[in-house]
Amino acid sequence: MSSTPAWFANQRRARNVVWRRTLLAASLLSLCLVGSTLHALLAGKRPPLLFSNNSSTRLPSGVPQTNLDVDGPLSPNEPSSVCPQPRPLVPSKHHTVDEQLHKLFANETYKMAAYKAFGGAIEIPTESYEDLLPVGEDDRWDIFGELHEYLEKTFPRVYASLEVTKVNTYGIVLHWQGSNDTALPVLMTAHQDVVPVAPATYDDWIHPPYSGYYDGTWIWGRGSCDDKSDLMASLQAINTLLELGFEPYRTFVWAFGFDEESAGTQGAGHLSPYLEIRYGTHGFALLLDEGGSAYGTAYGGDVVFAFPGLSEKGYLDVQIEVTAPGGHSSAPPPHTAIGMLAALLTTMEDNPHPALLTRHSSAYNATQCAAAYAPSFPAYIRRLAREAERSDVALAMLRDALLEEFGLEYEVLLRTTQAIDLVEGGVKVNALPERAAAIVNHRIVQESSVAAVEARLSALLQPLASRFNLTMDAFGGTLLPQPTEVAGNGTSKGHVSLAVAFGYALDPSPVTPTGPNDPYQVLAGTIRGAIADSPRAWDEGRNVSGVVVVPQIEHGNTDTSRYWNLTRNIVRYSHVREGDRYNGFHTVNEAIRAEGWLDSVRFYTRFILNCDEYL
């Protein structure tokens, strides 16, 4: 799992570059603006014509001339056309059950039993490795059998009351039949596996990584945040509702994969076709999986923001391989295979993918939500966001301002990212390398595709390959069949090849619809209601003024990448408050605040009740 950071938690950074970029864009459209903005920049002030509170101020030609005396952020309870918020949902038909749950979650005996059950699951090291063979061919899968025994022992009521199906031995599907056979079921997912703990880091943990230890505040261990937390919260929620006698109107289904942290082929890769065959293509009303950023006051002030993921970036690993004649290193050519590979990689890093901000994209919608409601959002960007609704010039200015103001937080939102992660080459210090290779990871923005990234990369590197007199093929096509020059023996000086690594690539996901009648509204309304009436929403005696739900795009990929055929309504959201993860996930000292995890159990029960009533 990859969590998107809370983008706007950073303090203000220097904005001089913003003004220079803004000045450049404006000067191309209106010469009369140049003098005043340049004067302001030289004086160390903001350009007055764009950002003055004077209502007579005019934007550059091409930007609608509107009143720039823009008010501050809206109250969370005020409506916004650019960031509509659903009403907070609390159960009505199931009000009695909800009241019973509220009392139960305050009961110390219940809490201790829940924490113990969660900790016991963490004790089982269900590590997922990149080199695992298929189930049945690798005994490292056997540990998942131990986890299954533990779950059945810990939640006998769940396993006795729900239909349980095992898929590819270790995938788990739970089916809770509702009284209405015609209503589309709701699907919730989580994964049983965790990333491995490096043995060299064991001594760096405050408590052992597979202890599941509860110290009175935190529950420690690998998987406490990702994703034994959602797995056990789901089972705890089901078990609690069963104990209270809840009988659903709508059918609910849970699917638990077991290799999300590696390839996903053995878990979700098998669960997906099973679910599609049984429930049909687009056979679910809504799917809820892990993801999203922690909710909290990310934008300052006392407004709580929650960030469900409604889409995911695409994925592509590219292998770049250079081969060249070998020989003794005492008589080297001007460029060895490693040197040529280094030049290709440097060219890539010197030419990042363009930043794209388009209307109605996930990044654009999230920005409009921040502009509408965030207390500490920069006023000049708030103004640009409002003008960008109808002005392409302002939209371009907004893109540049976001990149300069927030840096990496927006770089990963607006660009297809590229990361050189693996490099190899050479076998001996006195032998010229005959092969050098690297793998570059790409996370693809909504506006692009795998094919577009491949085409851009091929075009970018072809001139350099030609300069090095290399032949070249890229993604199954030949680009340079003959070198411009040949070596002394009449052969090419080498070859460069671009290919999809590991045989896997993924276009950006579809975007979950957020219309007034779409299932997303039930999820968003549940988030608002669950946070607003939770005792923990009153942080250390400080009142919160409201809750805003901000849809976003996920940088990483979850098991939902396998589930696109099951529903058009996929939401990635884990109900965790900022500060409730001790040290994040996939690192040492992974731990979750116990009360925070219990809140996620409460959220799942509320989500089930609301879906049963309002969906």
pLDDT in tens, 585-609: 899 999 999 999 999 999 999 999 9
Residues 364 and 381 in one domain: yes
pLDDT tens-digit series, residues 97-144: 999 999 999 999 999 999 999 999 999 999 999 999 999 999 999 999
State how many domains the chain has: 3
* H or E element in which residue 319 lies: strand 314-323
DSSP state of 391: -
Distances (CA, A) of 554 to 2, 293, 353, 450, 486: 7, 9, 18, 17, 47
Res 584: pLDDT:
86
pLDDT of 542: 52
pLDDT value of residue 70: 53
> Pairing state of beta strands 186-191 and 252-257?
parallel
At residue 450 the predicted structure's pLDDT band, cuts being 50, 70 and 90, is very high
Q: How far is CA 426 from the centre of its chain?
A: 36
* Active-site residue (options: 98, 127, 193, 405): 193
Does residue 544 form part of some domain?
yes
Average the pLDDT over 284-300 and give the result. 94
In the 8-state DSSP scheme, what is residue 482? S
| Residue 82 domain flag | no
Residue 197, pLDDT > 90, answer: yes
586 is in an annotated binding site: yes
- The single residue listed with the structure tokens 């078990």 is 239
Mark whether 298 and 393 lie in a shared domain: no
Query: Residue 444 is part of which domain span?
Result: 314-351+416-506
What residues does 135 pair with on adjacent strands? none
Check whether residue 295 and residue 347 sit in a common domain.
no
State the DSSP code for 396. H
Q: What per-residue string of b and e applies to 463-473 under the rule 16 or more CB within 10 Å gives b?
A: ebbbebbbbbb
Domain boundary pick from 365, 392, 409: 409
Q: Which of 156-160, 297-301, 550-554 has the highest mean pLDDT?
A: 156-160
What CATH number should be reported for the domain holding residue 135? 3.40.630.10
What's the whole-number mean pLDDT along residues 242-269? Answer: 97
Q: What is the pLDDT of residues 490-502, one digit of tens each?
A: 456 899 999 999 9
At residue 199, what is the residue type? Answer: P
Q: Are 441 and 586 members of one domain?
A: no
For residues 157 and 280, state if they share a domain. yes
Least confident residue range of 75-79, 125-129, 222-226, 256-260: 75-79
Whether 277 and 336 map to the same domain: the answer is no
> What pLDDT, on the 0 to 100 scale, is given for residue 1?
55
**Rounded average pLDDT over 324-346:** 96
User: Cα 420 to chain center, whole Å?
Assistant: 20
Catalytic annotation present for 387: no
The string of pLDDT tens digits covering residues 429-442 is 999 999 999 999 99
506, 533, 556 - which closes a domain: 506
Indicate yes or no: pTM above 0.85. Answer: yes
Q: What was the pLDDT predicted at 535?
A: 76
Query: Two tokens at 49?
Result: 């014509």
* 5, part of any domain: no
514 and 500 part of one domain = no
Q: Which of 260, 317, 454, 590 is catalytic?
A: 260
What percentage of the chain reaches a pLDDT higher than 90? Answer: 81
For position 444, what pLDDT does the model report? 98
Binding residue per annotation — 226?
A: yes
Is 270 within any annotated ligand binding site?
no
CATH of residue 465's domain is: 3.30.70.360
Residue of 307, 291, 289, 290 whose CA lies nearest to 253: 289
Question: Of 341, 376, 409, at which residue does a domain stop?
Answer: 409
Same domain, 252 and 401: no
Cα 550 from Cα 532, distance rounded (Å): 15
Residue 2 lies inside a defined structural domain of this protein: no
At 480, is the pLDDT very low, low, confident or very high (cuts 50, 70, 90)?
Answer: confident
* Cβ–Cβ < 8 Å for 461, 362: no
- CA 334 to the chain's CA centroid: 44
**Do 199 and 113 share a domain, yes or no?**
yes
pLDDT tens, 35-81? Answer: 333 333 333 333 333 333 332 333 444 544 443 335 689 998 899 99
pLDDT at 484: 56
Query: Which pLDDT value is given to residue 77?
Result: 87
Give backbone dihedrals phi and psi of 147, rounded to 5 degrees, phi first.
-65, -40
Query: 174 and 246: one domain?
Result: yes
Any domain includes 11? no
Q: What is the pLDDT of residue 305?
A: 95
Is there a contact between 602 and 243 (Cβ–Cβ < 8 Å)? Answer: no
Average pLDDT along the chain:
89
* Low-confidence winner among 153-157, 450-454, 554-558, 572-576 (lowest mean pLDDT): 554-558
Rounded Cα gap, residues 322 and 568, in angstroms: 42
* Residue 71 confidence (pLDDT): 64
User: Are the C-beta atoms of 187 and 255 separated by less than 8 Å?
Assistant: yes
Q: Are residues 179 and 250 in the same domain?
A: yes
Residue pair 580/212 in contact (Cβ under 8 Å)? The answer is: no
- For residue 80, is it within any domain? no
193 included as an active-site residue? yes
Q: Flag whether 87 is in a domain.
A: no
**DSSP assignment of 201-258:** GGGG-SS-TT---B-SSEEESTTTTTTHHHHHHHHHHHHHHHHTT---SS-EEEEEES
Average pLDDT over residues 238-247: 98
**Spatial contact of 283 and 276, defined as CB atoms under 8 Å apart:** yes
Residue pair 319/425 in contact by the 8 Å Cβ criterion: no
Question: Residue 477 has what pLDDT?
Answer: 92
Known binder of ligand: residue 102? no
Asked, for residue 605, whether it belongs to a domain, the answer is yes
The reply to whether 333 and 392 lie within a common domain is no
State yes or no: 555 annotated in a binding site: no
